[in-house]
Structure 1
Amino acid sequence: MDRLPGTSSLHIVLVLPTYLPESFGGAEQQSRKFAATLVREGVKVTLLAPRIEADTPARETKDGVEIVRFRLSSLPNLGGRHFFSFAWWSLRTAWWLWRHRRSYDVVHIVHGRLHAVGPLIGAKLAGRPALIKFGRGGEQFDIDTVKNKRLFGPQFAAVIKRLTTGFIANSTQMVDDVERHGIEKARVHRIPNGVIMPQVEPRAARERSESIFLFMGRFDREKAIDTMLKGIAALSGKRAAKLMLVGNGPREEELKALAQDLGIAAHVEFTGRLDDVTPALREADFYLSTSLSEGMSNSVLEAMSFGVVPVVTRVSGVEDMVEDGTNGYLFEAGDVSSCVEALERAAATPPDSHARMSAAARETLAARFGMESVVAQHIALYRTLPGKYRP
């Protein structure tokens, strides 16, 4: 792959509120692949993240990306009774960005929640531009989430809006949310999430003895996996179905108990975190997401890149990539009956129609969401920002 001209002089600092190996989510996976692709294009990348577990390395280099982690007792984007962790994170990141101000060009913060405040202040003091890539749209829009914090929420939201050089919105919903907050259009950049297209054979039409549904991500309340389990329970009474849940999170034991109570434990596999999700993606017929809010789901993107047909809620970013009945199925968030209806439609999909939808999913991704194109758009944006360091 030929490098884009002029990229070898760029040094980007990526800032995340959680990262591998402590959190196995779409944002972390997307950031890992995005950073590695930047490095292959000749851009130097340093990644700042918290570490909660004592055995997580404070420093390491992976895929050419330097990773620096700051020890905390809880995640820095929570606030409330975890305010001390937020404050310590803010001090550590601001100081790091000030101390290294002559070595980097742009601070790129993943998600505009509470953890962004410290890095924004550090970038401001260092005289460097700062970008925020929004994480969620709609009711859970990042700035609204910060504003609703009881302790200084409105003040922190104002800091985020004032100190950010530019905002990256990856969905139509997010663009609407930004406009609602009165942020100037010139500061908003529409760039989608990217996916590295795997080399896979087109899925052939085949009869299925059971429909295999897959979910990958963190088991938290915003993912509404209880709705997923209830939907699978209703479907299992009519059609043979299996659900694979890849990942972990705070609700894991609660969800295992719910699967038992619903009588579907034999049809639900909790795989835990997987270093390589390729076998699961190759096995699955459908990707199931019951999320109450999203930005642009990285897990849905990855599944579609493998030709796994999505069955997903109508949340931010989804309708930018999924057309109901053409390359996937859509249903309403938080509505079990709507979920069941979509599952039934999916399970009843004839083999030849499933093969066509699978191919359409891959075609959509290849045409609009290729990682190399997304990285090129980011590099072009980095070059336009004022205040970049040049030795």
Structure 2
Amino acid sequence: MEKTKILYFITRMDQGGAQASVLTTIKTINKQQFETYLATGPGGRLDGRFKNDTQHVFFITALRHDIRAKYFFHDLVALFQMGRILRRVKPDIVHTNAPKAGVLGRIAARIFWRKAKVVHTFHGLGFAKEHGEKQFKFFVAVEKFCAKFTDVLVFVSRRNAAEAKQLGIGKGVRTELIRAGVNFNPILPLKFDPVAKKASLKIPANAKVVLALANFKPLKNPIHFVLAAYKVLSQMKNVYFIFTGDGPLKETAVNLAKNLSIEKQVIFPGWRNDALELLAICDVYASVSLREGLPMSLLEAMSMRVPAVCYDVDGIGEVITNNKTGFLVAPNDINTFADKLKVLLRHASLRERFEAAIDHRDFSEFTASTMVKKQERLYRSLVPPTKKNGGKRRFFRRRRHFKKFNPGEK
């Protein structure tokens, strides 16, 4: 059978949920039916994984990560570079991810390769009113425009789908709910030593640990993490806080911790490749993000049976059951957030109860295998398998009728 060619566009291969989802799909998709290609901007932390694969991986050298007016010329060049990649690969399906690659990739497909079906995944809505009202309205208008030549819009959370519908994004376009997924049977290294891991971070063996696997971009809200840590440490001394990653607000967060005299107990270790080991030594997972589609780091915390305290934004409330597997707190309510951390840190029996609830919850819709199977089903619905010499696909096709995904359905 002739394989269906899928070209993935993503802005940059950094550590993040969108990147992890794309990599998992490329790695585990049915190779007998699908042939995958990846096109990404340079400078990602994961670029080294692809340096030897020049047949299926392409670097869009002009593509910049930030969305700024000064990069307009670079974006224009990137658009034509995407066009060259499209004409070389000749994909049956173009699947875009991340805001910038999502916009440029769909425009490029519209201009340079109209034969492809176009799918875009919102790994969270990449715009927020925190950016400013004018910028918010601009991004919404751009997404409405790009949706006009998108065959399927994929959402990872019902909240994101409902918000997009309310904003008028994708009106009349087919939508699907495909959760981001992780392995819910994680395996730690055989020689893993939690005491040694704590010691490597200068954390005493008997100390409690609060962990956030994130980055220092504004919407990840690292300043609130430091402020919450300060409120907890004002009453509890043997607690350490870890906030991983890097980004524009790291220096601000580090300086704030110093000014509050808590720098020895608030640790910023940078990017890490040992997320499961960090989760294994932590007592509570914390998320103060102001926007999250469906955070894979939170799913990883659930896979390790770690109770969580989170701002209740986007898809987080679809993972955490309040007062059962963790605590949900209204965004920006630092006092309540810190109070919930203290409750969990002080009461081992409550943590054990939450851990048991996590253990008994059905997370099957959040597994990596479910995510990939749903994507395969989506791809087959767009481009039905054909025999290599079995004739060309019909120019005119009978219109397929799909049950439209309703964000409000359970």
Return the TM-score normalized by structure 1: 0.83
**Alpha-carbon separation, structure 1, partners of 2:235 and 2:55:** 49
Q: Confirm or deny that 1:212 pairs with 2:206.
A: no
Query: Which amino acid in 1 is paired with 2:305?
Result: G
Contact 2:86 2:109 in 1 (8 A): yes
2-structure distance, mates of 1:286, 1:54: 27
Say yes or no: does 1:12 pair with 2:1: no
Distance in 2 (alpha carbons) for counterparts of 1:41 and 1:245 = 41
Give the distance between the partners of 2:207 and 2:44, measured in 1 at CA: 40
Structure 1's 108 and 330: CA in aligned 2 closer, same or farther, altered over 3 A? same
Counterpart in 2 of 1:87?
A: 76
CA distance in 1, matches of 2:364, 2:144: 37
What's 2:202 paired with?
Answer: none
Identity %: 20
Deviations 1:259-288 (A, max 9, x none): 111111111122221223221111111111
**How far does the alpha carbon of each residue in 1:303-324 deviate from its partner, in whole angstroms, 9 at most, with x for none?**
1111121211100001111011
Contact (CA 8 Å) 2:186, 2:303: kept in 1 or not?
no
SS in 2 for 1:330: strand
The equivalent of 1:241 in structure 2 is: 239
In structure 2, what is the Cα distance between the partners aligned to 1:171 and 1:54? 26
Going from structure 1 to structure 2, the CA distance change for 1:129 and 1:372 (only over 3 Å counts) comes to same
Alpha-carbon contact 2:152-2:174 (below 8 Å) kept: yes
| 1:185–1:354 CA distance, 2 compared to 1 (3 A) | farther
Choose which of 20, 29, 33 in structure 2 pairs with 1:38. Answer: 29
- Show the counterpart of 1:367: 364
C-alpha distance in 2 between matches for 1:55 and 1:317:
26
Moved over 6 A (4+): 144-147, 387-390
Match of 1:204 in 2: none
* d(CA) in 1 for partners of 2:254, 2:276: 24
Q: How does 1:318-329 map to 2 (within 5 A)?
A: 318-329=316-327
Match of 1:197 in 2: 184
Deviation at 1:214, TM superposition (A): 0.8
1:181 aligns with 2:167: yes
Q: Which shifted more, 91-100 or 352-361?
A: 352-361
In 2, Cα distance between the equivalents of 1:332 and 1:321?
16
**Partner-residue secondary structure (3-state), 1:107:** strand
SS in 2 for 1:214: strand
- Taking the aligned partners of 2:374 and 2:219, their CA distance within structure 1 comes to 30
Could you say which residue in structure 2 is the equivalent of 1:117?
A: 103
| Contact residue 79 and residue 86 of structure 1 kept, 8 A | no
Query: What amino acid sits opposite 1:189 in the alignment?
Result: E
Structure 1 range deviating more: 251-260 or 45-54: 45-54
Q: Deviations over 1:199-233 (max 9, x none)?
A: 469xxxxxx94321111122111111110111011
Query: CA 1:276 to 1:185, structure 2 compared with 1: closer, same or farther past 3 Å?
Result: farther
Counterpart in the other structure of 1:348: 346
**Please, which runs of 5 or more residues in structure 2 have no aligned partner?**
189-204, 389-410
Q: Relative to structure 1, is the Cα distance of residues 170 and 262 closer, same or farther in structure 2, using a 3 angstrom cutoff?
A: same
Preserved CA contact (<8 Å) 1:218 1:249: yes
1:109 alignment partner, SS class: strand
Q: Distance in 2 between matches of 1:318 and 1:342?
A: 16
C-alpha separation in 2, matches of 1:24 and 1:161: 27
The alignment covers a number of residue pairs equal to: 368
- Partner residue in 1 for 2:408: none
Q: Which amino acid is the alignment partner of residue 220 of structure 1? A: K
Question: Of residues 93, 99, 121 in structure 1, which corresponds to 2:88?
Answer: 99
Take 2:5 and 2:295, find their aligned partners in 1: how far apart are those partners?
27
Task: State yes or no: 1:305 paired with 2:303.
Answer: yes
Matched, 1:74 2:64: yes
1:227 is the counterpart of 2:224: yes
Q: Does 1:134 align with 2:128?
A: no
Q: CA RMSD in A?
A: 3.3
Pairwise CA distance, 1:342: 2.0
Distance, in Å, in 1 between the alignment partners of 2:75 and 2:106 is 13
Deviation at 1:385, TM superposition (A): 1.3
Give distance in 1, aligned partners of 2:58 and 2:36. Answer: 11
Distance in 2 (alpha carbons) for counterparts of 1:174 and 1:150:
15
Superposition deviation, residue 17 in structure 1: 1.2
- Number of the residue aligned with 1:357: 354
Contact 2:212 2:286 in 1 (8 A): yes
Q: Summarize deviations over 1:176-200 as a string: whole Å, max 9, x none.
A: 1232233346611011111112346
Task: Flag the 1:390–1:334 CA change in 2: closer, same or farther, 3 A.
Answer: farther
SS of 2:108's equivalent in the other structure is helix
Scaled by the length of structure 2, the TM-score of the pair is 0.80
Match of 1:271 in 2: 269
Q: Deviations over 1:339-362 (max 9, x none)?
A: 21221222133x233123124334
